[in-house]
């Protein structure tokens, strides 16, 4: 079940919300409990201070106006621990009996042993009440009922100079009831809220992922049918799923184009291979039957054409497979001089123009193949001359090959770089190759981080980044 994205999203949201609610609930309970304890402590302090003021003003201990014992149990003890006054119905504090049945001479627990604060060293004067208040939690038995209280302890001196300790309490039952009520409400509401969070997350995630399921279903159908012309549905939303659908369709379009290109490449390659193979077979069969009629030069020419075509196809296959060029430094000017020196006996001579020193990084063999293909193409269409030059333009090395031929029509300047493309005036196979030279040249240029284009009718420009 958790293998579903919806289930994982719902479970994750539920866990996060549960942890957040538990943390927030704990904090609320602690703050509420602290506030109620402070409130109880304030009530106990008020009750204790009222009794301490009476003592300081000289009211006899047996005449003290003590609050109701159930609300605020009060114990007044002398400095030696003897109980001087006890609130009505108060029988014990912290399990130690202090009731009236023991009389005025009974001993109350010393206040100092119940407090954590350090004693105030300042001596009180007769008729004075200490400003310091000490708090502690404890229990009190009032008329046989034991309950929790928050006690406030205050020191006071009567007019005769006798010091007394007044301990008054405020019931903690309201605080405990309030905290318990809030805790019970949280424990009851938390599961319901988590169920709501899980349900809402499930529904929202299901709605959000519905387009993804549509994309998955269409991709499965495309895989089953192998029909790459189909496209996945694109939702109207401009969110990540919409971008995913559009990117998927762009990928399908690129894949369809690549597959179509591959099919066309195979078909064209088969067609181009069939011609020299058929011609070579015919000549060999004639030679077997009539040795005197065997055209050896023609057979050699067809074999050379077949060898060149196979080499071109192999290089294109390596380029399509993503073969990365090497990192060898190649001097374009030196490469031009070497290539032009081997073409002195060609029908159209190759002249060199400016040859600036420009080193590029890449494959010496592949870049030499580019230069050779550009020169072959220029010589094929030139009337009387071909000119090649190398210049530096900032961080780019530019190799230009120019001929005095009719040039490439503007409408065909991109098409000539497609594979197996020959313009109408160059379709005769004895005038040129199979239409792969310029396609190979551009692919190699792109693999080297550069470009190859026709800048004017008869000027081919190869741009490569300087090493």
Q: 3-class secondary structure for 12-24?
A: HHHHHHHHHHHHH
Alpha-carbon gap, residue 343 to 323, rounded angstroms: 30
C-alpha torsion angle, residues 101, 104, 107, 108 (rounded to 10): 80
The pLDDT tens digits for 400-440 are 999 998 888 888 888 888 887 776 544 344 445 677 888 88
Whose CA is closest to 449, among 374, 396, 392? 396
Which of 44, 76, 71 minimizes the C-alpha distance to 142?
71
How big is the chain, counted in residues?
467
User: For residue 453, what is the enclosing H or E element?
Assistant: strand 451-456
For residues 139 and 133, what is the distance between their CA atoms, to the nearest angstrom? 19
Mean pLDDT, range 76-102, rounded to an integer: 80
Per-residue pLDDT tens for 1-20? 555 787 888 888 899 999 99
Give the architecture (CATH level 2) of 328-465. Answer: 2-Layer Sandwich (3.30)
Where along the chain do the CATH 3.30.565.10 domains lie? 328-465
CA distance 336 to 75: 114
DSSP 331: E
Helix (H, G, I), strand (E, B) or coil at 399: strand
What was the pLDDT predicted at 103? 42
Rounded Cα distance, 432 and 415, in Å: 17
| The pLDDT of residue 335 | 92
Question: Among 113-127, 323-337, 364-378, whose mean pLDDT is lowest?
Answer: 113-127
Q: Phi/psi zone of residue 348: left (φ > 0), alpha (ψ -120 to 50 degrees), beta?
A: beta
Give the residue, 433 or 331, on which the prediction is more confident.
331
* pLDDT average, residue stretch 348-360: 89
Residue 443, classed as helix, strand or coil, is helix
CATH 1.10.287.130 residue ranges for the chain:
240-320
More confident site: 453 or 122: 453
Question: Whole-angstrom Cα distance, residue 433 to residue 422?
Answer: 9
The CATH architecture one would assign to domain 240-320 is: Orthogonal Bundle (1.10)
d(C-alpha 133, C-alpha 276), whole Å: 114
- What is the pLDDT, as a whole number, of residue 334? 92
Is the Cβ–Cβ distance between 95 and 109 less than 8 Å? Answer: no
Q: What's the helix, strand, coil split of the chain in %, to 5? A: 50, 20, 30
Distance, CA of 397 to CA of 395 (rounded, Å): 7
pLDDT of residue 407: 86
Q: Is the pLDDT of residue 441 over 50?
A: yes
Q: Is 108 a residue whose pLDDT tops 70?
A: no
pLDDT band at 98 (very low <50, low <70, confident <90, very high): confident
Alpha-carbon distance of 224 to 198, in angstroms, equals 36
Closest CA to 385 of 407, 404, 399, 371: 404
Residue 292 clears pLDDT 80, i.e. is over it: no
Tell me what the mean pLDDT of segment 281-298 comes to. 80
- Which of 51-55, 120-124, 155-159, 395-399 has the lowest average pLDDT? 120-124
């Amino acid at each position: 079940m958790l293998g579903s994205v919806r289930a994982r999203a719902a479970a994750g949201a539920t866990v996060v919300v549960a942890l957040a609610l538990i943390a927030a609930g704990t904090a609320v309970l602690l703050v509420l409990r602290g506030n109620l304890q402070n409130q109880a402590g304030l009530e106990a302090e008020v009750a204790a201070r009222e009794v301490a003021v009476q003592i300081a003003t000289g009211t006899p201990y047996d005449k003290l106006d003590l609050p109701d014992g159930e609300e605020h149990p009060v114990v007044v003890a002398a400095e030696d621990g003897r109980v001087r006054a006890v609130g009505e119905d108060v029988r014990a504090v912290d399990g130690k009996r202090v009731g009236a049945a023991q009389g005025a001479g009974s001993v109350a627990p010393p206040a100092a042993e119940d407090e954590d604060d350090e004693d105030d060293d300042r001596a009180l004067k007769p008729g004075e009440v200490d400003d310091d208040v000490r708090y502690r939690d404890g229990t009190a038995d009032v008329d046989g009922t034991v309950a929790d209280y928050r006690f406030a302890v205050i020191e006071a001196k009567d007019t005769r100079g006798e010091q007394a300790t007044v301990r008054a309490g405020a019931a903690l039952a309201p605080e405990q009831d309030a905290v318990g009520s809030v805790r019970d409400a949280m424990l009851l509401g938390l599961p319901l809220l988590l169920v709501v969070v899980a349900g809402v997350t499930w529904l929202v995630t299901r709605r959000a992922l519905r387009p993804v399921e549509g994309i998955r279903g269409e991709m499965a159908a495309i895989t089953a049918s192998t029909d790459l012309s189909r496209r996945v549905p694109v939702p109207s939303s401009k969110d990540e799923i919409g971008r995913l659908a559009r990117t998927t369709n762009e990928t399908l379009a690129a894949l369809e184009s690549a597959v179509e290109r591959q099919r066309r490449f195979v078909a064209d390659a088969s067609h181009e291979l069939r011609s020299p193979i058929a011609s070579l077979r015919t000549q060999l069969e004639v030679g077997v039957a009539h040795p005197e009629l065997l055209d050896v030069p023609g057979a050699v020419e067809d074999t050379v054409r077949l060898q060149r075509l196979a080499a071109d196809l192999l290089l294109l296959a390596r380029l399509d497979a993503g073969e990365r060029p090497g990192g060898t430094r190649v001097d374009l000017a030196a490469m031009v001089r070497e290539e032009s020196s081997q073409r002195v006996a060609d029908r159209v001579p190759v002249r060199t123009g400016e040859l600036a020193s420009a080193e590029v990084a890449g494959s010496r063999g592949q870049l030499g193949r580019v230069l050779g293909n550009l020169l072959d193409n220029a010589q094929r269409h030139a009337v009387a001359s071909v000119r090649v030059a190398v210049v530096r333009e900032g961080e780019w090395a530019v190799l230009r090959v120019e001929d005095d031929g009719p040039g490439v029509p503007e409408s065909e300047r991109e098409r000539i770089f497609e594979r197996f493309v020959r313009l109408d005036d160059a379709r005769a196979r004895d005038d040129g190759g199979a239409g792969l030279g310029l396609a190979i040249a551009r692919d190699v240029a792109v693999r080297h981080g550069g470009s190859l284009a026709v800048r004017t009718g008869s000027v081919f420009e190869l741009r490569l980044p300087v090493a």
